[in-house]
Homo-oligomer: A and B are copies of this chain.
Amino acid sequence: MKNNKAIAVFDSGIGGLTVVSSLMKRLPGENIIYFGDTARVPYGIKSVETINRYAAQITKFLTQKEVKLLIVACNTMAAVAFQTIKDLSGVPVLEVIDAGARNAVAQTRAKAIGVIGTPATINSNAYARAIRLLDSKVKIFSQACPLFVPLVEEGWINHPATKLIAREYLKPVLDEKIDTLVLGCTHYPLLKPLLQEAVGGKIKLIDSAEAMADIAAQLIEKQKISNDANAAPEYHFYVSDVPYRFQAIGEKFLGRKFDQVKLVSLQ
């Protein structure tokens, strides 16, 4: 395997850029290819069949490129289409749910973990399954938060309405005396300050994007496939649509300038 092949990261939209941002910091020498299915976002409210069909199309598109590792940054696809993606990929596949679950289990002392995400992620029970595989004694309390994605995309990451909605969504989870809360959606890291305030200082928030970057670094080291070329890394961004306020939102997720984006149509 050529070490200068890229890491491919994909998501239903541009939320997965939070994972790219963490990877750029953790693995500054690696080439990265990103695909965001912005023409069909959000996946979180679609059916399992439709999500699997779309995930297969994306996997085929990315594995035609020179890639050494696939990262499923979309919690919804990881939750309901991971097997489809693995079967089609031909390279190692990592996904955010496993990463978030590992980090949460390592952090919790009370053995009580909260998980928030889109309806599809929460209904799939994927976090609960991943956490129980690691520690069967941990209690898990889940809550779907369908309004968080549109609130982040509207840019209302510190708005009174977002605070009000966060308090309402989080109340049943907080009543369960959790000490760890998994942010089970790539959009949620942008709400971290607001959510930390809503849950209080004692609850640890688990950012799957950071956990994902750590696990990718471990795999690359273990398999000895790090990019040791001395050239500056190349970043390629593909999307299926260029939607409303795309550039501004993309830069918020990526935490840096977001340019040279290419448009592709998948079918």
Tell me the A residues contacting B by CB distance below 8 Å: 38-40, 44-47, 50, 119-120, 123, 146-147, 149-151, 153-154, 156, 160-161, 164-165, 168, 240-245, 267
CA distance A120 to B241 in the complex (A): 13
Q: Is B39 a contact partner of A50 (Cβ separation < 8 A)?
A: yes
Write out the residue numbers on chain B whose beta carbons fall within 8 Å of the beta carbon of A156.
Answer: 147
6 A-B pairs besides A38-B46, A40-B40, A147-B156 with CB distance below 8 A are A39-B46, A44-B244, A50-B240, A146-B153, A147-B150, A150-B150
Give the shortest distance, in Å, between A257 (CB) and chain B (any CB).
Answer: 21
Write out the residue numbers on chain B whose beta carbons fall within 8 Å of the beta carbon of A240.
Answer: 50
Please, which residue of chain B has its CB at the minimum distance from the CB of A245?
A: B119
Taken together, the copies of this chain in the complex come to 2
CA distance A52 to B149 in the complex (A): 25
Q: Is A244 a contact partner of B39 (Cβ separation < 8 A)?
A: no
CA distance A166 to B149 in the complex (A): 18
CA distance A168 to B162 in the complex (A): 13
Q: Pick 17 A–B contacts, CB within 8 A, sort by A.
A: A38-B46, A39-B40, A39-B46, A39-B50, A45-B243, A45-B244, A47-B241, A47-B242, A50-B241, A119-B244, A120-B244, A147-B147, A147-B154, A149-B150, A160-B164, A161-B168, A164-B164
**Nearest 6 pairs of A and B residues by beta carbon:** A150-B150, A119-B244, A45-B244, A45-B243, A161-B164, A50-B241
Write out the residue numbers on chain B whose beta carbons fall within 8 Å of the beta carbon of A44.
Answer: 244
Write out the residue numbers on chain B whose beta carbons fall within 8 Å of the beta carbon of A150.
Answer: 146-147, 149-150
CA distance A50 to B40 in the complex (A): 10
Q: Is B147 a contact partner of A46 (Cβ separation < 8 A)?
A: no
CA distance A245 to B50 in the complex (A): 15
Most chain B beta carbons < 10 A, residue from A38, A39, A40, A267: A39
Task: Tell whether A123 pairs with B47 under 8 Å between CB atoms, given A39-B40, A40-B40, A146-B150.
Answer: no
Write out the residue numbers on chain B whose beta carbons fall within 8 Å of the beta carbon of A267.
Answer: 267
CA distance A199 to B144 in the complex (A): 31
Write out the residue numbers on chain B whose beta carbons fall within 8 Å of the beta carbon of A153.
Answer: 45, 146
Q: Is B160 a contact partner of A151 (Cβ separation < 8 A)?
A: no
Give the shortest distance, in Å, between A124 (CB) and chain B (any CB).
Answer: 11
Write out the residue numbers on chain B whose beta carbons fall within 8 Å of the beta carbon of A165.
Answer: 161
Write out the residue numbers on chain B whose beta carbons fall within 8 Å of the beta carbon of A123.
Answer: 244
Write out the residue numbers on chain B whose beta carbons fall within 8 Å of the beta carbon of A154.
Answer: 146-147
CA distance A119 to B244 in the complex (A): 7
Please, which residue of chain B has its CB at the minimum distance from the CB of A146?
A: B154
CA distance A168 to B164 in the complex (A): 14
